[in-house]
Amino acid sequence: MAGRVSTFLLLIAIVAPLRSSAAAPVTIVASAPCMSSAGPGIPPPASVPSGLPGFHAAWYGQSGYPTLCPGERSTATVAFYNSGTRGWVQGKMGEVAYLGTWDPDPGQDRATPLGGDGTQGSPATGWPRYNRVAAQPAPWVGPNQVSWFQFTVIAPQIPGTYRLSIRALIEGAQWMEDYGVFWYVTVPGTAPAGSLAPLPARWPSRAMEIGMSDGPDGAAAMRATAPFGFRYQYLAGGVNTGGGWATWNAGARFPTYYIQDSARNGLVPVFTYYQMLQSAPGNGMGEPAGDIANMQNTATMGAYFADLRVLFQRAGAESGTVVVHVEPDLWGYIQQRYGDDPAAAPAKVGATGMAELAGLPDNASGLARAVIKLRDLYAPNVLLAYHLSYWGTNHDPLYEKAPDATVDAWATRSATFFTSLGAAFDLVFAEFSDRDADFKRFQNGDTGAWWSANDFARNVRYLTKVSALTQKRIVMWQIPLGNTKMRAMNNTWDHYQDNKSEWLFDDPGRANLSAYARAGVIAFLFGRGADGATCACDAARDGVTNPAPIGANTRDSLGADDDGGYFRERAAAYYAAGTLTLP
């Protein structure tokens, strides 16, 4: 065995699998002096496999969870037992044992901010390579012998909880057993000035909040299940069809009632304003043709801005913060059609003759600036959200699995398009997907819709870049509600599986949540984007269901919600454990 466990080491834990009770959730501590510490190590198991033919490794103990001040370094130690019949030979390709980066954080063979060799964006901490954490220290590790791997990690500058996953391998030959080995590094404190975009003025919380879609008069029932921060509702139907939101209640009072119901129950109302496509004449053309046609129709755009003005007048008559999320998908379609300069996209704005918009250009930039101007005039309590569509660049990171440099380039294009609008939106809304992964698989034949650890890592990277370049915080919106835990999730209509809620809120150490917080995300709003997708409600009207499991979904339903009650359970558990303080 090489080396000894130091007095300031990292804990490496076994995941088999992660459960909500496996470790106490970690909350970022705000404004406290930085104090380093280390938790106790974990001893080796009572027994390990032995004599397995070929190359094999079994986890055999590790050092403790650290709390490190920004920039501080620490030595980590982890032991692996050679449980195979072949020895490990130092320096010999095809026989030398290494530790490699693994899923979920940072992902197989990906760089991490916790250590590396200074390449691929990793810090220089003496690792063999950016994706090779350590090599075996002894010249020979024979069968039934233990190798103690040591390496240095560094605490990132941004406070949060970081996770590093590793797996043993024989370089040039094979990965050995995946024991789910990982550790957390906690960096306490608040983010350095300028490291993240500031929170929007009037943003109601310093904590990471959860919200969900919720219809009229539903605030009390929603709040009774968990102390959610937000609820959202579409405003749709078209501005000139006779069926738009302004007709849903007398005097166009629907927003008024929704805002007041939210305020009575301690919730911030969010309206997704989705009127362009559903207005005439474009409502018969589909996307994006209908959007483009309506933008260039003077009468339609006049009615559009008049409709938006009424919304702002109703919201402005109330005292609390209201969020208006402006036209999901529209900006992506504009970028797809006209490129990264929104001034190239024609839209009737000043030409509508509305006095408040006189002098604004007749293009997509003018459209965005008109929304801001009407808000400023009638509803200063409203926060306006731009909608980020990754695919506006004509690329999709989920399906293309691009390398980091390409992801950065696409994110830069998304940010360039936003800033070229010249419109002072307060924040950005973004999506994972509008439907559950298995909804897409079974209904659309889309076999690539499931998100892996690497997909989440690319998403975090994309959002980090966009937030930094735009200096806007981000809300993740319309997140699918499927899960892989509950028996109700049997991949039938209204009961399709997905993994977003698990990734974010069934992660005991909150490393996944913390990664999104460091990227600039400040809230997660869940809801389905189409009929048939999973709902945290009884949309199927089939009551409590517990069909036979189709995999690992073996938990009995907690109620009549189509997801088996999983989302509300996870939300309640998150708030009960203490919210994550935003960096």
Give the CATH fold of the 37-187 domain.
Immunoglobulin-like (2.60.40)
pTM higher than the cut 0.85: no
pLDDT in the model for residue 101: 96
The distance from CA 529 to its chain's CA centroid, rounded to whole angstroms, is 17
Rounded distance between C-alpha atoms, residue 524 and residue 229, angstroms: 10
Q: What is the pLDDT of residues 15-60, one digit of tens each?
A: 222 222 233 333 333 345 788 888 889 899 999 999 999 999 999 9
Residue 553 in this model has a pLDDT that exceeds 90: yes
Residue 426 in this model has a pLDDT that exceeds 70: yes
Residue 246 in this model has a pLDDT that exceeds 50: yes
Q: In the predicted model, what is the mean pLDDT of residues 95-124?
A: 90
Residue 193 in this model has a pLDDT that exceeds 60: no
Residue 224 in this model has a pLDDT that exceeds 50: yes
Number of Cα atoms under 13 Å in the Cβ half of residue 397: 27
Q: Pick the residue with more confidence: 368 or 33?
A: 368
Q: What is the pLDDT of residues 261-283, one digit of tens each?
A: 999 999 999 999 999 999 999 99
Q: In the predicted model, what is the mean pLDDT of residues 334-361?
A: 97
Closest CA to 59 of 6, 14, 16: 14
Number of Cα atoms under 13 Å in the Cβ half of residue 55: 18
pLDDT in the model for residue 194: 57
Per residue, what are the HEC states of 124-172?
Answer: ECCCCECCEEEECCCCEECCCCEEEEEEEEECCCCCEEEEEEEEEEECC
Per residue, what are the HEC states of 471-490?
Answer: CCCEEEEEECCCCCCECCCC
Note every long-range contact of 574-579, with CB atoms under 8 Å and residues 24 or more positions apart, other chains counting. Answer: 574/25, 574/210, 574/226, 574/505, 575/210, 575/226, 575/227, 577/24, 577/25, 577/27, 578/25, 578/27, 579/27, 579/207, 579/208, 579/209
β-strands 427-430, 382-387 pairing: parallel
Residue 486 in this model has a pLDDT that exceeds 90: yes
Indicate the pLDDT class of residue 508, thresholds 50, 70 and 90. Answer: confident
- Rounded to whole angstroms, what are the CA distances from 193 to 33, 196, 294, 582? 16, 7, 43, 13
Q: Pick the residue with more confidence: 12 or 76?
A: 76
Residue 195 in this model has a pLDDT that exceeds 80: no
Q: Are 79 and 151 within 8 A, CB to CB?
A: no
Q: In the predicted model, what is the mean pLDDT of residues 158-166?
A: 85
Its CATH architecture, for the domain 209-577, is Alpha-Beta Barrel (3.20)
Domain ranges of the chain: 37-187, 209-577
Tokens 């089939």 locate to: 542
Q: Are 363 and 346 within 8 A, CB to CB?
A: yes
How many helices (H) and strands (E) the chain has is answered by 13, 20
Least confident of 33-37, 110-114, 222-226: 33-37
Q: What is the pLDDT of residues 73-85, one digit of tens each?
A: 999 999 999 999 9
Indicate the pLDDT class of residue 162, thresholds 50, 70 and 90. Answer: confident
Closest CA to 149 of 173, 171, 167: 167
What SS3 state is found at 428? strand
What string of DSSP letters covers 1-14? ------SS--B-B-
β-strands 97-101, 160-170 pairing: antiparallel
Residue 151 in this model has a pLDDT that exceeds 60: yes
Average pLDDT score over the chain: 91
Q: What is the pLDDT of residues 489-504, one digit of tens each?
A: 999 999 999 999 999 9
pLDDT in the model for residue 26: 32
Over its C-alpha atoms, the chain yields an Rg (Å, rounded) of 26
The distance from CA 171 to its chain's CA centroid, rounded to whole angstroms, is 33
Share of residues in the chain with pLDDT > 90 (%): 83
Share of residues in the chain with pLDDT > 70 (%): 93
Q: What is the pLDDT of residues 430-451, one digit of tens each?
A: 999 999 999 999 999 999 999 9
Structure tokens that stand for 134 in this block: 């350590």
pLDDT in the model for residue 32: 54
For the chain, first and last CA: distance in Å? Answer: 41
